[in-house]
Amino acid sequence: MLRSNTCGELRLTDIDKNVILSGWVQRVRDMGNMLWIDLRDRYGITQLMLEENRNTPETLALARTLGREFVVQVHGTVVERVSKNDKIPTGAIEIKVETLTVMNAAKLPPFKIEDETDGGDDIRMKYRYLDLRRNVVRQNLQLRHKMAQQTRAYMDAQDFIEVETPVLIKSTPEGARDFVVPSRMNPGEFYALPQSPQTFKQLLMVSGFDKYYQIVKCFRDEDLRADRQPEFTQIDCEMSFVEQEDVLTMFEGLIRHLFKNVKDIDLPPVPRMTYAEAARRYGSDKPDTRFGMEFCYLKSPEKTQNNLVHGKNFGLFEEAEMVVGICAKNCADYTRKQMDELTEWLKRPQIGAKALIYARYNADGTLKSSVDKFYSEEDLKNWANEMEAAPGDLMLILAGETNKVRKQLSELRLEMGNRLGLRKPDDFKALWVLDFPLLEYSPDDDRWFAMHHPFTSPKPEDIALLTTDLGAVRANAYDMVINGTEVGGGSVRIFQRPLQQQMFEILGFSAQEAKAQFGFLMDAFEYGAPPHAGIAFGFDRLCSIFGGADSIRDYIAFPKNNSGRDVMIDGPSVIDQKQLDELKIKTVL
Amino acid sequence: MLRSNTCGELRLTDIDKNVILSGWVQRVRDMGNMLWIDLRDRYGITQLMLEENRNTPETLALARTLGREFVVQVHGTVVERVSKNDKIPTGAIEIKVETLTVMNAAKLPPFKIEDETDGGDDIRMKYRYLDLRRNVVRQNLQLRHKMAQQTRAYMDAQDFIEVETPVLIKSTPEGARDFVVPSRMNPGEFYALPQSPQTFKQLLMVSGFDKYYQIVKCFRDEDLRADRQPEFTQIDCEMSFVEQEDVLTMFEGLIRHLFKNVKDIDLPPVPRMTYAEAARRYGSDKPDTRFGMEFCYLKSPEKTQNNLVHGKNFGLFEEAEMVVGICAKNCADYTRKQMDELTEWLKRPQIGAKALIYARYNADGTLKSSVDKFYSEEDLKNWANEMEAAPGDLMLILAGETNKVRKQLSELRLEMGNRLGLRKPDDFKALWVLDFPLLEYSPDDDRWFAMHHPFTSPKPEDIALLTTDLGAVRANAYDMVINGTEVGGGSVRIFQRPLQQQMFEILGFSAQEAKAQFGFLMDAFEYGAPPHAGIAFGFDRLCSIFGGADSIRDYIAFPKNNSGRDVMIDGPSVIDQKQLDELKIKTVL
């Protein structure tokens, strides 16, 4: 037996017990005649005590050689501490050490194994096994474990069956880029790693599994941004004999269960908003609803609304498709410098705004704008009324093409939310966004793409539009958004062959291509496919939001960097010529 | 709402309720003035009833068009049945149908969706989504779900943390053949899919995770036998600060928990046997201990034992390293034809025995052998004593080289066990096999291989043998065997760099190769690695044993065939030239 107890469990009630502890040396304090060691493991820290006259000179000498992160084992007795530490659960006791054994020495770690470390990103990723030793990092992964446990608890209670779908599947040209795996037994052919188990879960519905779920790895060979990983994890779900409402209810239940059981937060019922409304009010299909600062239209593309900027010869506004602003509370005293900085921020290529118009509603009740040349104080007063601005507030206004301006103002809104401290990491606001467009047109490719995926069902009342106005067809598709991040999305699926075939045609598949890629699914629809719908949550992302963090990397044990490399194991790597020969492939560099 | 209830839940207590049911048409019985439909879903079957005068002619006509596997929805009222069916839980009620809607028609399935189907393997795999509709197949996957649930329940209760390890890792030449994935972002380099998360779980121990588990997909590109799949699932576990005994106790606990909670079987404490003893008594490192029929040595390679065959000029026995037999109870009356057939069976290349010697202990007390020319009845009597044969029994004897003969007689023992009905699928006998050799010599490669893997620790008392007698070094490695099948295996790991380095040298790695392949692990050992040990269970296999089946395929939702193909989706497949170009590879056929 290498230990009788962990370093987190001994208490005053254990006094006089003979114990064996094993763990890592966190700290050694040598007072000459007494020597203390903080021994650490996953469960906590226990103080060890050695004394000049009681312990042998050999033991004391050995203790004095201990460095940080040495792995040691001690036999000893639990005694009450003279000066207790009420900051840790074991702080009332210490171990009177009898024997001390070094199980493994440790070199000096390349960075501090502490919550506030001195290690940069690169060194911590190379020595990820040491980074994972830090409490903050391990706690992230423990949160992830708890999220998975609670997800399963909910899904199991709701009678979902967990089914493992295959990882070695077939490549499909639609959607993102696949990772592929050459098949040695089928030379010249390749498996693909799944971007999601979409078709398999639909087939499970055809099979009558009724309710399926899986926490499953998925893969996408896309260029990586800070927050994307080539392999990621989904909570993947599908249900039969359901309508959109059933899915929303079921998975609102999941999210509320997770908040309750992981964070002890009673999330209120999740509000709902259509895609169109989200675009109008927030300029985004994933609005952060922790704060207001909603869009106010001074000139709207919808004709029925007032136009408060017309006829004053201000070219930008006259030519703009829309003029829209947000009201930043209590920001009227922003300095010229601050305004210039904000304008520069908006003009960066990532945002691409041409100009920022602003109007201050001064605390004294006067109004002043960057377009005083064109608009009177009376005009500004009308704007203020429309934007519900009060004395002390700052109105920020953009103008131009609808889609561009909405995106730009959405970014500005989020930025102002950050600056004003309105996006609190411990405040959680969930939202369903509904009625997404079924299709979006790509001018570059001169074709329509499925906004969600080719298996998403149009709203029954919009099916007629499939032959007349593709852009107007709404899908029975839904996203769950938390704090401005899309954490999950899904749809009611097509379950009838003719509609699926029509959809493939719209997406530009030839009959032959559709059959080669998805023939098995369309065949399956002919053998009694039930109506079905589903959803998938990005598990890494969900964990990071629950943890209040921005990056998903902190919630993945062994993440890859932006070049798709695991710098710890130094992979990917070149492989033996023999392997290439067996696979009948060669590299062409 | 597409249904108010499932097809498995309505009872007499629901009489008079208005309900909506959806499901598949299992059967239609048309009695002219009355018509019954068995409606099926995952939860059960409910009988629907239509009547000539009550239902409209249109509804009745529609009902008469229904074929098997049509998907329909009905509105109706729960009524008590006149003639009840006590074989199904819903058998006391039926639904008086008001409206009937066909949600999806179905073509005639290519085979019967019943427990006893008329579909062959190939057609059932091509239409796997229909095969999965059969109760027996779905129940296998529901058993698998329950196995996963209960595994997690146990591991969670024991404080293990579930951690996901990466799927895109680095190829290593040691062990089985890797599947590889070309990296687009790192041209010329490849990821490998993990054969197991071995190094990652060891690093998690270095990180102080203390107890890790994961139910995880692993991959091996080996030629497939009936019972191997290129992707398979493991229950993967690792623990720190433990000795072998701790691991055995913990995972004996898991297996007993699974038997209790999945099958309601109280498995007794799991017996233990060394590798050497298993080889001696059963000729196998995974003996089926549901039945005896143990090996009896008439001539043993161990000098201390009796030699009951010596000095009678029977060349085969004189030259043999060992002469060993089993006693088949009550088989003395096997006919000449049966004996010939058994001999032929043994001589097949898969087994490769040269000859089968047998001796009958007839019911009348006389003894008769196939080697009467050399051995007297007195000799045979001595054999019978040694083999504890009684009148009526048949002694089956093989002779030759130790390793070959043990394997052959082990096969014969299992075959006789089958023939005598001693290997009952609902009888479960578990066994720990311990003290495996650390290394095995491959004459073909003229080198030593790790029997378990290169990270397995030699027994401390055998470490000195590493420089003198490699074949004699025993490992702290253990297998769990159930009913003659290895369901799991593991080892205490090396956790000190010098020993790991020595191991790599023994396995023929140059210092450079060892560093390139496993440098990160050896580095990790220098920063405070704790003693650790682990185990992995083959989850597919474990499920099939719990299900009492021979093949793991029945417990995998979408298995591949012996050529590694998924015949349903028809993958792997050729991919676009554009994909190959982006990956900077080409096929060389």
Gap from A415 CA to chain B (nearest CA, Å): 32
- Sort out which chain B residues have CB atoms less than 8 A from A187's CB and list them: 587, 589
Terminal Cα distance for chain B, rounded: 55
- pLDDT band of A284, cuts 50, 70, 90: very high
Distance CA A503, CA A527 (A): 20
Local structure of A252: helix, strand or coil: helix
- pLDDT band of B305, cuts 50, 70, 90: low
Contact B152, B215 (CB under 8 A): yes
Report, as an integer, the average pLDDT of B563-578: 95
- pLDDT band of A303, cuts 50, 70, 90: low
Per-residue DSSP letters for A284-319? SSS--TTS----EEEE-SSTTS--SSTTS--HHHHH
For residue B572, is the peptide bond before it cis, meaning its omega torsion is within 30 degrees of 0? yes
Question: What is the pLDDT, as a whole number, of residue B225?
Answer: 74
Q: Which B residues, 365 through 424, put their C-beta within 8 Å of a C-beta on chain A?
A: none
Per-residue DSSP letters for A394-437? EEEEEEE-HHHHHHHHHHHHHHHHHHTT---TT---EEEEE--B
pLDDT tens readout for residues B225-275: 767 899 999 999 999 999 999 999 999 999 999 999 999 999 999 999 999
Local structure of A70: helix, strand or coil: coil
pLDDT tens readout for residues A505-557: 999 999 999 999 999 999 999 999 999 999 999 999 999 999 998 889 999 99
Task: Sort strands B439-442 and A180-182 into parallel, antiparallel or unpaired.
Answer: unpaired
Report, as an integer, the average pLDDT of A416-426: 96
Distance CA B177, CA A200 (A): 27
Q: Quick check: B304 pLDDT over 70?
A: no
pLDDT tens readout for residues B382-430: 999 999 999 999 999 999 999 999 999 999 999 999 999 999 999 999 9
Say whether A161 and B145 touch across the interface (CB within 8 A). yes
Distance CA B465, CA B458 (A): 10
pTM, 2 dp: 0.96
- Sort out which chain B residues have CB atoms less than 8 A from A574's CB and list them: 188-190
Say whether A189 and B556 touch across the interface (CB within 8 A). no
Residue A114 contacts B where some CB pair is shorter than 8 Å? no
Q: Quick check: B303 pLDDT over 70?
A: no
pLDDT tens readout for residues A128-150: 999 999 999 999 999 999 999 99
Distance CA A167, CA B231 (A): 7
Distance CA A82, CA A70 (A): 26
Q: Give the torsion sign (CA, A160, A163, A167, A168).
A: negative
Distance CA B339, CA B343 (A): 6
Q: Which of B41, B129, B146, B515 to mutate to test the interface with A (most CBs of A within 10 A)?
A: B129
pLDDT tens readout for residues B277-291: 999 999 999 999 999
Gap from B61 CA to chain A (nearest CA, Å): 20
Question: What is the pLDDT, as a whole number, of residue B370?
Answer: 95
**Which residues have C-beta within 8 Å of that of residue A294, sequence separation ≥ 6?**
A281, A282, A326
Q: Which of A207, A225, A476 to mutate to test the interface with B (most CBs of B within 10 A)?
A: A207
Q: Which residues lie across from B95 on neighbouring strands?
A: B48, B78
- pLDDT band of A225, cuts 50, 70, 90: confident
Distance CA B76, CA B62 (A): 16
User: How many residues are given for chain B?
Assistant: 589
Report, as an integer, the average pLDDT of B354-381: 96
- Sort out which chain A residues have CB atoms less than 8 A from B574's CB and list them: 188-190
> What chain B residue is nearest to A134 in terms of C-alpha separation?
B207
Say whether A585 and B585 touch across the interface (CB within 8 A). yes
pLDDT tens readout for residues A67-84: 999 999 999 999 999 999
Contact B506, B499 (CB under 8 A): no
Give the mean pLDDT of chain B. Answer: 96
**Domains of chain A by range and CATH?**
12-104 (2.40.50.140), 137-273+429-556 (3.30.930.10), 291-419 (3.30.1360.30)
Q: Which residues lie across from B211 on neighbouring strands?
A: B239
pLDDT tens readout for residues B438-462: 999 999 999 999 999 999 999 999 9
Report, as an integer, the average pLDDT of A37-44: 97
- pLDDT band of A306, cuts 50, 70, 90: low
Q: Quick check: B189 pLDDT over 70?
A: yes
Residue A27 contacts B where some CB pair is shorter than 8 Å? no
Give the H or E element holding residue B489.
strand B485-492
> What chain A residue is nearest to B73 in terms of C-alpha separation?
A241
Give the mean pLDDT of chain A. Answer: 96
The burial class, CB within 10 Å (0-12 / 13-18 / 19+), for B426 is: exposed
Question: What is the pLDDT, as a whole number, of residue A304?
Answer: 58
Distance CA B558, CA B141 (A): 11
How many CB atoms neighbour CB B57 within 10 A?
8
Task: Sort strands B190-192 and B180-182 into parallel, antiparallel or unpaired.
Answer: antiparallel
Contact A11, A90 (CB under 8 A): yes
Contact A100, A72 (CB under 8 A): yes
Question: What is the pLDDT, as a whole number, of residue B397?
Answer: 98
Per-residue DSSP letters for A502-553? HHHHHTT--HHHHHHHHHHHHHHTTBTPPPEEEEEEEHHHHHHHHTT-S-SG
Task: Sort strands B357-361 and A357-361 into parallel, antiparallel or unpaired.
Answer: unpaired
Question: What is the pLDDT, as a whole number, of residue B193?
Answer: 98
The upper half-sphere exposure of residue A499, i.e. CA atoms within 13 Å in the direction of its Cβ, equals: 18
